[in-house]
Structure 1
Amino acid sequence: MPHLTLEYSNNLASFSPALALAALNTAMFDSGLFSEPDIKSRAFALEHFQVGIRPAPRAFAHVRIALLAGRSEAERKELAEAVLAALRSAVDAPTGAEIQLSVETVDLDRGSYAKAVLNG
């Protein structure tokens, strides 16, 4: 735990999802809430998306952090702010474009979460 999912519009110029995930994982680890091997992340480029209703140069990136229930609101808020700062550093805003960045945390039910670690 946790699972981090980055969704981003595929019109983000010069965006490197690999570099973004590395920065996001570092922010997660630096929070002190998770052990290093427990942080899992993935990124999905969205080919079909719309921001607003008017044609304009717009893009977005959204991070969803799923973690086991039990973290305080303050811990989740601090984590979201740290991950947002890391995301900001990974996204360049071209002149004249609007890029919206957001982060949310979602609690997973401890009672129904199952995990196995295989070592070969």
Structure 2
Amino acid sequence: MPHLIVEYSSNLEGFPEAHALDALNATIIASGQVQYEQDLKSRTIRTEQFVIGNDPTALRGFVHAELRLLAGRTPEVKRDLSERIAAVLRELTPHPEGMLVQLSVDIVDMDRAAYYKGTL
């Protein structure tokens, strides 16, 4: 805990995966909501097959980030985290000319009673 998953459409050529993950981890850790920096696990998923809407002629792409945290944070803290993540993604996401790129962020509460974490 926490887990950050960033999915993006494959038509966003040049999405800077490694740089984005470094910047996202830095901004999440700077929020003060991660007790131990080594607990933040982040990854990207390039989505090859996707459909946005139903207009086959429209040039569209997306980036969606989901931050999963143990439940218990206030709506204000969640909003701050969402805005921090969105700011990094707005800065780093390619925006090809003529393409509508949708950006979304979701903060998801994980059930404390059901979550297991161990180390090897």
Asked whether the two chains share a fold, i.e. TM above 0.5, the reply is yes
- What's the counterpart of residue 97 of structure 2? 95
Give 5+ residue unaligned stretches, structure 2: none
- What's the counterpart of residue 56 of structure 1? 58
CA distances 1:32-64 after superposition (whole Å, capped 9, x unpaired): 110311111111111100111112111001001
Q: The residue matched to 1:37 in structure 2 has which SS?
A: helix
Q: What root-mean-square deviation, in Å, do the aligned CA atoms of Structure 1 and Structure 2 show?
A: 1.0
2:78 pairs with 1:76: yes
- What's the counterpart of residue 44 of structure 1? 45
CA distances 1:60-80 after superposition (whole Å, capped 9, x unpaired): 010011100001110001000
TM-score by length of 2: 0.93
Decide whether the 8 Å contact of 1:66 with 1:106 is kept in 2.
Answer: yes
Q: Which runs of 4+ in 1 moved over 4 A?
A: none
Give 5+ residue unaligned stretches, structure 1: none
- What's the counterpart of residue 116 of structure 1? 118
TM-score by length of 1: 0.93
